Amino acid sequence: MIWLVWRQHRQQALFALLGLAALAAFLVPTGIQMHDAFERAGLPGCLRAAASVEYVQVVNGADQAPDPVSTCQDLAAQFAGRFGSRGAIGILLWFLPLFVGLFWGAPLIARELEHGTHRLVWTQGVSRRRWALASSAWSAGAWCC
């Protein structure tokens, strides 16, 4: 049964793996680059300082000392300006589960019915429950990975 499910879906699995690899090839260097830029701009320290600034201080000494909050805001704006567009990729990731369900989950049974092959596979010496279990376990497993 597991063999059958693998044989039926191995092409799909291959494409999914390729897709994930392509996504990783893009996301991992971007992530490293973002991390480096974040460090180099001194944003970690600046943000920590900004977090410790109290509201009273800001109001009183706004003109004298360099304002940690506004400098930090500038740095953050620069950072966001450089990488913000890539944040759109994140939105794509939100919809990934939807796509998995749409393109993998739905056709599990629908395609069998469309091609009439349920009449082949459901009349072998394996119960339909086991077939359903193996098929959905595959999809669920692939999604978890």
Q: Which residues bind another protein (CB under 8 A)?
A: 1, 3-4, 7-8, 11, 115-127, 130
Q: Which is nearer to another protein, 53 or 137 (CB)?
A: 137
- The answer to whether 38 and 84 have CB atoms below 8 angstroms apart is no
CA geometry: angle 77, 83, 84, nearest 5 deg: 70
**C-beta of 7: minimal distance to another protein in Å?**
6
Q: Which is nearer to another protein, 7 or 40 (CB)?
A: 7
Q: Which is nearer to another protein, 81 or 116 (CB)?
A: 116
**C-beta of 16: minimal distance to another protein in Å?**
17
Structure tokens at 49: 């300082």
- The answer to whether 69 and 58 have CB atoms below 8 angstroms apart is yes
